[in-house]
Structure 1
């Protein structure tokens, strides 16, 4: 499938709201699970895959109807952006989790790494095949990045976290190659945790990301953000990234950043002049639907720092935690905004 030919192609970061009939949204809203959260699904196991398929078609059609150029499957089959892939790997014990306590005292169950990491079969291949069958638009699929997964687990096997990250990178790479063969037009790695431990990220995140993307010939993206707006309120978000310029050294074609909610100083993009920028222009912390003119202004602001052929408008982050009508309205406004600015620069 060819990439969109026009300037300022719109896309999504990955997730789209799951319907209330499919998931218990109140349970979902309490955390971003690292281990499995089977109780989140409202549909009995015997019918769950069919229900997820139907909800995925709804998400794809919503994105198409909103005018999105590069669509995803909405990550409808996932409990979180990372746990489905991470817990499917050999060497991971997700049934007997470790507990990690954050600086704020929050306790989170995480998978324990108890053996050699291995991928004994595809995890998202059917998702990609289903997406490819159900849209004629450019199709993107997302994978959790190896650095982030290494930070979201308790390492009880490898000599250090770098060795763990490189083992995870090899598993991600094997998956990504299959997804590419299944028709993925874009492959995205989600690496939000590079900002949590920038010292470790500086040592080995780029090496792990490049290993994960080895041999991939379709456009690739690394997504970094400050966390879901529903989980991390805007007034607690930093004004800048602690690990961003370093991503210039990745083999990824695109870097995806959150810029609308944290009101990021876009001068930082000078460090990424060789990359295309997926620019967050929808504030997911705002419960209303921005007008197309507000979003158009954010795109124009981005164009002061990034040329039009390198800018891809997107939401700040995944839209999983939003009401579906609001998510759709925001995407439609973003598509309308991109069309307005496209006429100005085209």
Structure 2
């Protein structure tokens, strides 16, 4: 995999989130009607937290860092999904942020953003995140966000009456955002999406094509199976069914959970498209025990039986944002050590 023009064997990256320091609490960034930062003190605390998060990833030897989502409220048990659901809608035109409750027991505590008019990009959404990471590291990093297909199905549409049309307008707004981040020098982005295991309709890829038009950044797609305090939404990997989506997607890297027992079948990845990099989790984010280095190294070796080292990205499964900092970073450092062991064997 090429990173900054250099071919990296067994490149490494994390997913998108890490636990925040205990002294950073509450919402950091404002909505469309507020300043970018809710206070100067919060800005300083957030940027300091980003430096810690970046440093831990550097110590683990990661090749592409993630922003760590240090601006999200991870410390509110049971309500961690609230900022993920609302952050983008609250920063785009065409939304009222709080509508009816979510669907089902798990999502009932979270209010849906209501679509009241045409979705429009009004101002930068992730500018503060890019600035914080540029101040925290010299290494390449990716900014992660909920994809338009996923975002479209968790909103209360009172304007479009057509879910696909709504999702495509979301994609156009995010394209404007990505073009802005690209102009800032951002090198990589990652969309987060839990929709693909449920439906393999190709309109999802049409949204990706709209969103990534004119974007030259390294593009990741994290297919999320859900993770709140170790509780997932998806219990069937549906890897084979998703292969046509992966083939048609304009992204460079597709990342999936692959460590916990329900998702350990690696044979399906033999049909993964050869023009893309496959990111597979080798650290269990549903287990609070720290994975030993030799266990992680063996997981990497087994994945190399189905994916060559030039097309395998090594990563954790998603969900480390809900762990303690001690455990999350210990898992990450063990992963980095295991990668070095396997690289030496190649």
TM range (shorter): 0.7 to 0.9
- Structure 1 residue 267 displacement after superposition: 2.2
Correspondence 1:287-302 to 2 at 5 A: 287-302=288-303
- Structure 1 residue 247 displacement after superposition: 2.1
Deviations 1:37-92 (A, max 9, x none): xxxxxx98452222111111111111112222211221101244453223211001
Deviations 1:235-265 (A, max 9, x none): x732434534322101101101111123332
8 Å Cα contact 2:254-2:277 kept in structure 1: yes
8 Å Cα contact 1:229-1:284 kept in structure 2: no
Distance 1:23 1:267 in 2: 43
Distance 1:4 1:230 in 2: 37
Distance 1:195 1:280 in 2: 17
Correspondence 1:1-346 to 2 at 5 A: 2=4, 5-23=7-25, 45-79=39-73, 80-94=83-97, 96-102=98-104, 106-196=108-198, 198=199, 201-228=200-227, 230-232=229-231, 237-241=235-239, 243-261=242-260, 262-269=262-269, 270-345=271-346
Moved more, 335-344 or 63-72: 63-72
8 Å Cα contact 1:165-1:208 kept in structure 2: yes
Gaps of 5+ in 1: 29-35, 37-42
Runs of 4+ in 1 over 6 A off after TM superposition: none
- Paired position in structure 2 for 1:40: none
Instruction: Supply the RMSD in Å over aligned alpha carbons.
Output: 2.4
8 Å Cα contact 2:230-2:286 kept in structure 1: no
Gaps of 5+ in 2: 32-36, 74-82
Moved more, 245-254 or 162-171: 245-254
8 Å Cα contact 2:236-2:263 kept in structure 1: no
8 Å Cα contact 2:192-2:221 kept in structure 1: yes
Moved more, 270-279 or 169-178: 270-279
TM-score relative to the length of structure 2: 0.87
Distance 2:84 2:267 in 1: 29
Deviations 1:105-128 (A, max 9, x none): 845311001111001110101211
Partner SS state of residue 243, structure 1: helix
Distance 1:105 1:214 in 2: 32
8 Å Cα contact 1:226-1:232 kept in structure 2: no
Partner SS state of residue 247, structure 2: helix
Moved more, 165-174 or 182-191: 182-191
Distance 1:189 1:334 in 2: 23
- Paired position in structure 1 for 2:80: none
- Structure 1 residue 4 displacement after superposition: 5.7
TM-score relative to the length of structure 1: 0.87
